[in-house]
Amino acid sequence: MSMLDPVTVSRESLYEQVWHEPVLKVATRYQISGTALAKICRKLQVPVPPPGYWARKQHGYAPGRPDLPSLPEGARSVASIEQRPPRATPSPEIEAHIAREAEEKNQIHVAARLGRAHALVHQAGEVLRAQKPDERGILRAPWRERCLDIRVSRASLPRALRIMDALLKAVERRGLHIATLEGERVATHIEGLGEKVEIGLEERSTRQEHVLSNEERDSKAKRGWTHAPRWDYEPSGILQLRIKEIWGDRIRKSWSDGRKHKLEDVLNQVITGIIVAADAKKRHQLDLERQQREWAEAEWRRVELEQQRRAEEQRLKELESSAERWTKSRWLHSYVEAVERAARDAGTPHGSGQRPWAVA
């Protein structure tokens, strides 16, 4: 998504704005998030109203505001805010998809046990069970293996397969198509609206600073260094589904286990995200095709104008050459006539023989 022209704002102006109305309203006017604007205020050392300030003011209180502090010498006093264009309004087709996913009858339920698994899920289970965990304790399909993109620990694999099984079956019930890459990297694609959207299911890892073993400490004491890693990683048990597409800025692309819900509870949101991402990818492709047409038309016009310019230039050269020949011809005629007059006036035939070839 392209950015709008940056807007330069001074800290004095920003200070007045954020104390005149809530930060979120000011941020909306600049087409950025409230968090982004708050970060700009911190950089410029612009104080912002504390929580509850606007509620107290609305109820008749007159809370004071701190003065704008002076900046240290050399500190920046202005900010350049890169605005984002507003989000595109979803088409009626996308709105219909979103509405269907919210209906109770379309809610996706993950089975407690994996029964008749989807063929791709069954195949992924066999591939992953045969692998050894990597340095982070995660199972990964071999490079170039045609397999679903699932990257989890052995302990989380049964749950991951059940989640992916429920998702893929729901995807196919909605008329979408599933594909895994062959002969390339491991990837899962969901095809909808004529576009392929890549997704992946993975398990987050936690890290702790590595504690050197006795052997590693001895090695470091002798050599001054050690091959020991800085961090130790462990699977967290937290699963996350991600849309692995660069298209679709400002749309949700990841869902994971949280405090109030599990990943199993938000699979309908995942499908909505896939549809929205497919629509964004399609819009981008249409925009790209439009730009290419405009570039091609501009190039065609440039070539046509260049051809016209060259043709005009050639005609002008021919005209100048014709005019030069005509001028020279008139000069020769005048010269011959002058010679003949001079000869006649002198009573001599000199020059009379020049006319036939001179005026030919």
For residue 132, what are the contacts with CB-CB under 8 A and spacing of at least 6? 139
Mean pLDDT throughout 151-176?
A: 96
Burial of 290 (0-12, 13-18, 19+ CB in 10 A): exposed
DSSP per-residue string spanning 198-236: EEEEEEEEEEEEPPPPHHHHHHHHHHS-----SEEEEEE
Of 242, 236, 170, 239, the closest CA to residue 207 belongs to: 236
Tokens 């008329």 sit on residue: 175
Which pLDDT does position 1 carry in this prediction?
Answer: 44
For the cut 60, the answer to whether the pLDDT of residue 355 exceeds it is no
Average pLDDT in the chain: 88
Of the candidate ranges 28-32, 125-129, 142-146, 352-356, the one whose mean pLDDT is the lowest: 352-356
Counting residues of the chain whose pLDDT is more than 90, the rounded percentage is 57
For the cut 70, the answer to whether the pLDDT of residue 359 exceeds it is no
Which pLDDT does position 86 carry in this prediction?
Answer: 63
Does the model's pTM come out above 0.75? no
